[in-house]
Structure 1
Amino acid sequence: MNKPLRRASVFSLLLVMTLLVWITYVQLARGASLRDNAHNSRVAISEYAGPLGDILAGGERVTGSAATQGNLKYKRTYPDGKLWAPVTGYASQSYGSTQLEALERQVLDGSDSRLKNPLQALTRERSKPGDVITTIDPAVQKAAYRGLGNKTGAAVAIDPTTGAVLALVSTPSYDPGTFAGSSSADQKAWNALQKDRKQPMLNRALRQTYPPGSTFKVVVAAAALENGLYSSVDEPTKSPDPYRLPGTVTDMHNESSSAPCENATIRTALQYSCNTVFAKMAVDLGQSKVAAQAKKLGFGDSALDIPVRAAKSVYPSGMNDSQTALSGMGQFDVTATPLQMAMVSSAVANDGKLMTPYEVDRTTDGSASALDHASARTYSRAMSQHTASELRSAMRTVVDQGTGANAKIPGVAVGGKTGTAQHGENNSANPYAWFMSYADAGGGHKVAVAVVVEDSDAARADISGGGLAGPIAKAMMKAALP
C-alpha cells in the first residue's frame, strides 16, 4: 500500500473510531437527559400514548383521560377542574405539568420502574400507569370552595394528629382541562389565563403569603407562655392602653376604645384582639424569642414540601423595638401562607406537637398494591402540652364569647382567632380577613383550619375575620367531623 493511501486509511479509521466513541457517549452519558428533554417530541408522544393514571380523593377520581386525534393519542381531563386544580395542578400537551401532575408524573404515565415487570424493564415497554391517592376529603374541599365562592382567597384544613391535608382551596380557580390539549382553543384558553389580573392559576393556599394580622397573636402568646413571661392565659399582663411605640411619639390604640385591654390577661386580649397587649408582649420578649417560637411552627422554612413546595412564611429579623411591637400583632413584615396558619392551629390542637403536613397518602400500581405509603412525621415539638392547653382554652373563649362567634358548632369544642390584616400603602386597600381555628369532637376527631379572604364584595367597614372567614371555617370543620 502506498503512503498516501495508508494515511487516508488511518484517517478514515480514526473518524470511524471517533464516531463510535461519540455514539457511545451520547447513549450512555447523555441518553437520559436527551430522552427527558422537554423539546424531544418523543417524550410527549410516549407520555400521551395511552390513558394516564388518575389522582383520587376520598375514592373519587378527580382526573381522567380522553382519546384525541394525532400523534398525542390521549389528553388529560378534569371532571370538576376548578374545585381540584389547587390539588392536582395541570397536565398539558403544550404547556407541561405542575404540582401533583408533575411531581408524580412517572407513576401517572407508567414510566416508574416500580411499575415494570422484568420483561418490561428489558423491552422498555410502557407499563400500566399507577394512581395517586391524596389525603383530601372531598366534603371538606367542597365546603371550602363553596364558602369562598366568588371571593379571592384560600383555605386549608389539616388533621392535627397526622398532618394529613384535608382541604386545599384557592379562589378564583381555573379549569386545567381547557388547555390540556394542543389545539388553538387550548392555546387561547392558556393565553387568557396568563392575562387574567385575578391570577386564577396562583395557588394562594400554598404559594401566596399575606400579613397574618391578629391570628399571629397566638404565636406571640405561645412565646410568652413558653418563655415564662406569663404563667397562664389568666394572669394579668403589664399592658398600658394606649401603648406608646418604643422610640417614637406614636400611641397605639385598640380597635374598640371600650375593650378591657389595659393589663388584660392573654385570654381577654385574644377575646377582644387587643393590639396593645401583644405589641408590648413582643417587645418584652424580644424579637429573637418570638422568632424562635415562630420557627418551631414552620416560619422561615423554605423547603416545606407536601410534596408541592410551599412559599416561605417570614418572621423578620433586624427590627427595632417599634417594628417588633408591630410584628406582635402580625403586621410590619410578618407574612404567612394559609398553610402556615393552619399549621399553627394544628400544633395548638395536638397538644403542642406539630405534624408535618402532607397531601399524598400513597401511590399505587393502578390496583390495590401500594408503591409507597405516607406515614405521619413530627415536624417539631412546637410548644409544651401546658402551653397548648392554655391556648386552646383561650381560643375557645374567642369563639364562645368573642370575635369568633360565627364559628360555633353545637356540641363541639371550637377554638379560633380572627384577624384583619392591613393591606396596601398606608392601609389604603381593603384589609385581609383571616380566621384560624380548631375543632375537637372527641374520640380523636380533630381538625385545624385557616381561611383568608383577600378580596370580596363586602364594604370596607364590613370586612372582618370573624364575619367573612369565620363562616367558611365553620363549614369546613363541620364537614371534617363525624
Structure 2
Amino acid sequence: MSRCIRHAAAFCVLLLVALLVNTAWLQLFLSPSYAGNPANRRPTIARYDQPRGRILVGGRPVTGSRDTGEQLRYERTYADGPLYAPVTGFASQRYGTTFLEHSEDQVLSGTDPMLAGLRLWNDFTRSRAPGGDVVTTLNPAAQRAAFDALGARKGAVAAIEPATGRILALVSTPSYDPAELSGNGPAVAAAWARLNDDPEQPMLNRAVRQTYPPGSTFKVVTAAAALDAGLVTDLDMPTDSPDPYPLPGSTARLVNEGEGCENASLRYAFEFSCNTVFAKLGVDVGAAAMRTAAQGFGFDDEGLRIPFPVTPSTFEAPADRAQRALSSIGQYNTRATPLQMAMVAAAVADGGQSRAPYLVERTTRRGGATVSAAGSRPARQVMLPTTAERLRELMCGVVEEGTGRNAAIPGAVVGGKTGTAQHGVGNRGTPYAWFVSWAQGDQDLDPRVAVAVVVEDASARRGDISGGGTAAPIAKAVMEAVLHSPPTR
C-alpha cells in the first residue's frame, strides 16, 4: 500500500512540476505573443478603463475624457478641437494616436513608470496610476490669433519665444476636430474616410510636417552667410550685382520683380528683395559655407523633436553654381517648414543664437506634482553677434521702409522678411506667400516672439509684395497677441 502511495505522490509531484514549467514557459516566453494577439482585447479594455490625462494650454485643459459606459469605457474629448489639432493630434480607440497624444502617451495613459507611487504594489495589484497631465508652452492668445487670421486660407503659422525656444503657437489650416475620431463606431470610420479623402488634407500638420520652397525669406540665411564670410562689410555699399544676373554656366538669366536692383546695396536688396543680389552672393559665398550656414539654423536636421518628429528642412548647396544661385534665394531644391523659418527669425532676434524649439513645458501627476520639466535649452551660436545685429537692422528696414510695412506695430520694434515662393510646372502655380518676423515691445529687454507664416493660396501678384500683403498681417496679429500677454516666467 505504501508503495502505491509513493508512486501516486511521485506522479502528483511530476504533474505539479510540469504545471509549473508550463506556467513559467507561458509567462516568460509566450506571454508577449499572447499579449500582442489581435484576439486578446484585455490590453485594449484596460487602456480605456480609466480617464486619460489632460493636455493643458495656458492652465486650461483642452482635452478630456467621457464615460461611455461601454466595454471601452473612456473616450477622448476635445475643447476647441480644430484650433489645437496640430498640437494635440488625436487619440482614437480605432486609429491610435498622433502628435502630443502619441509622444506623451505613457504619461497621458498612466503607464509611465514615473507616475507610479508604489511600483511593487502596482505590479502586484496590476493597477495603473491615474493618467498624468501635459502642460504645453503655447500662448492661447497667440494660437487663437493665428487661427483666426488664417481663417479659410490654406497655410500654417509657427511662433517661438527666441530666448527660450518655447513654441507659442502652432497652427495649420484647414483643420479638423479630433473628437470625430475618438471612438470606434461606424461614425468614426466614416469620418476617417472623409478626412483622408479630402483634397484639402485637413489632418496634415503644415506647420511641422509640410515643407515649402521658402522663397525670399531664405535670404536671411544667405545674408548671414555673406556677412559672416566678410563678403559684405558695409550694408550701404554697392554689391556689384548685374540686373539681370546671368546664371553661371547657363544661358538663363535671373531677373527681379522690382526696379533699382542693379548693383544695389545689401540694405536695398534686402528691403526690396532683389533676387539678383542674393543669387550672386550665394554663388560667391560658396557651397560649403552656404551649407554650414543653413545647417547652423537647423536645415538638414533629421533628429528634431518637439517632442513629436518634425519633417527635416533641406538645403543642398549644389556644386552647380546656377543651381546654387537659385537655392540661395529659396528656390530650386530648398525646402523649409514654417517652424524652421520661425527658428531662423528667432536666431536673428536672439543675437545669433539658435535654440531647439519645444512644446512641452512639464508633465505632472493628476494632483499637479511635477514628473518632468523641460529645463533650460542649450543654445548654439549660428552667426557672429555683429551679423545678427546687422540682420536685425535689415529686418527692421523691411517693416519700416520695404515690403513688410503691414507688419508694423505701434510701440514695438518689428523686424521681418517677405517672401514669395513660386512653384508648379513652369512656376505657373499660385505663389506661396511667406513672412518671417520678430517683435520686441517698448518695455521688453529682448524680442518676445519670432513668427513664420505661409499661405498656400495667396491671391496676389508674383512678387515679394504678396508676402507683405497676405502673410504679414497674420504675423502681426500673432505678434500683437504675444506682446499684449504677460511675459513668461
Deviations 1:242-264 (A, max 9, x none): 111111222211101x2x21222
Partners of 1:147 and 1:369 lie apart in 2 by 36
Residues 73-119 of structure 1: per-residue CA shift (max 9 Å, x gap): 11000121000000001000111111110111111111222222213
* Counterpart for residue 270 of structure 1: 270
* Matched residue type, 2:399: V
Between 387-396 and 369-378, report the one with greater CA deviation: 369-378
Taking structure 1 as the reference length, what is the TM-score of the superposition? 0.93
1:100 is matched with 100
Confirm or deny: 8 A CA contact 2:460 2:466 kept in the other structure: no
- 2 CA distance for matches of 1:236 and 1:117? 68
Query: Which residue does the alignment assign to 1:345?
Result: 345
Query: Contact 1:232–1:390 (CA<8 Å) still a contact in 2?
Result: no
Residue aligning to 2:452: 450
The 8 Å contact of residues 448 and 483 in structure 2, kept in 1 or not, is answered as yes
Percent identity, please. Answer: 52
Q: Do the aligned partners of residues 227 and 40 (structure 1) sit closer, same or farther apart at CA in structure 2, a change above 3 Å counting?
A: farther
Q: Deviations over 1:376-403 (max 9, x none)?
A: 3124211111110000000000000000
| 1:27 shift after superposition | 2.5
Give the Cα separation in 2 of the matches to 1:382 and 1:326: 22
Q: In the TM superposition, what are the counterparts of 1:393-412 in structure 2 within 5 Å?
A: 393-412=393-412
Question: What does 1:89-128 correspond to in 2, within 5 Å?
Answer: 89-118=89-118, 119-128=121-130
Q: Distance in 1 between matches of 2:479 and 2:237?
A: 31
Q: Tell me by how many angstroms 1:37 deviates.
A: 6.9
Structure 2 residues without counterparts, runs of 5 or longer: 1-9, 485-489
* Secondary structure of 1:451 counterpart: strand
Q: Give deviations 1:213-254, integer Å, cap 9, x for gaps.
A: 000000000000111111243333221111111112222111
Relative to structure 2, which stretch is displaced further, 196-205 or 16-25?
16-25
Is contact 2:318–2:324 with CA below 8 Å preserved after alignment?
no
**In 2, Cα distance between equivalents of 1:34 and 1:277:** 65
The correspondence for 1:142, drawn from 141, 144, 153, is 144
* Structure 1 residues 33 and 218, CA gap change in structure 2 (3 angstroms): farther
Aligned 8 A contact 1:356 1:376 in 2: no
Higher mean C-alpha displacement, 132-141 vs 225-234: 225-234
| Amino acid aligned to 1:159 | E
Give the stretch that moved more between structures: 358-367 or 369-378. Answer: 369-378
* Rounded Cα–Cα distance in structure 2 between residues aligned with 1:15 and 1:89: 53
> Is the Cα contact below 8 Å between 2:55 and 2:136 reproduced in 1?
yes
The 2-side partners of 1:135 and 1:287 are apart by 37
Return the offset for 1:46: 1.2
Name the CA distance, whole Å, in 2 between partners of 1:116 and 1:75: 23
d(CA) in 1 for partners of 2:309 and 2:337? 12
Structure 2 equivalent of residue 217 of structure 1: 219
Contact 1:89 1:101 in 2 (8 A): yes
Q: 1:263 to 1:33 in 2, by over 3 A?
A: farther
Deviation, 1:32, is 5.7
Between the aligned partners of 2:318 and 2:33, the Cα distance in structure 1 is 44
Distance 1:187 1:172, change over 3 A: same
Note the C-alpha offset of 1:313: 0.4
Q: Residues 123, 342 of structure 1: CA spacing in aligned structure 2 closer, same or farther, 3 A cutoff?
A: same
Matched, 1:284 2:245: no
Give the AA of the match of 2:210. Q
Distance in 2 of aligned mates of 1:248 and 1:339: 34
The aligned residue for residue 437 of structure 2 is 437
Indicate if the aligned counterparts of 1:327 and 1:334 stay in contact, CA closer than 8 A.
Answer: yes
Calculate the TM-score normalised by the size of structure 2.
0.91
CA distance in 1, matches of 2:18, 2:209: 50
SS of equivalent to 1:455 = coil
Matched, 1:182 2:178: no
Q: Measure the CA separation in 2 of the matches of 1:33 and 1:382.
A: 49
In structure 1, C-alpha distance between the alignment counterparts of 2:152 and 2:430, rounded to whole Å: 16
- Of the candidates 159, 162, 165, which is equivalent to residue 161 of structure 2? 159
Q: How far apart, in 2, do the equivalents of 1:265 and 1:459 lie?
A: 27
Query: Which letter maps to 1:475?
Result: A
Instruction: State the AA in 1 paired with 2:219.
Output: K
1:7 maps to none
Matched to 1:452, the amino acid is V
Per-residue displacement from partner, 1:4-57 (whole Å, max 9, x unpaired)?
xxxxxx9x9999978855653552356467546777422221111121110001
Coordinate RMSD, CA, aligned: 2.2
Structure 1 spans left out of the alignment, 5+ residues: 1-9
Runs of 4+ in structure 1 deviating by more than 3 angstroms, as ranges, are 12-23, 28-40, 459-463
Distance 1:292 1:39, change over 3 A: farther
Asked if the contact 1:140–1:480 (Cα under 8 Å) also holds between the matched residues in 2, the reply is yes
Paired position in structure 2 for 1:228: 230
The answer to whether the Cα contact below 8 Å between 1:445 and 1:481 also exists between their aligned partners in 2 is no
Report what 2:193 is aligned to. Answer: 191
Residues 277-323 of structure 1: CA distance to partner in whole angstroms, max 9, x if unpaired?
00000010112111100000000001100001000100014441110
CA distance in 1, matches of 2:57, 2:153: 24
Secondary structure at the counterpart of residue 190 of structure 1: helix
Seen in structure 2, the aligned counterparts of structure 1 residues 319 and 181 have a Cα distance that, compared at 3 Å, is same
Query: Does structure 2 conserve the Cα–Cα contact (< 8 Å) formed by 1:113 and 1:121?
Result: no
Distance in 2 between residues matched to 1:39 and 1:279, nearest whole Å? 61
Q: Which residue number in structure 2 is paired with residue 43 of structure 1?
A: 43
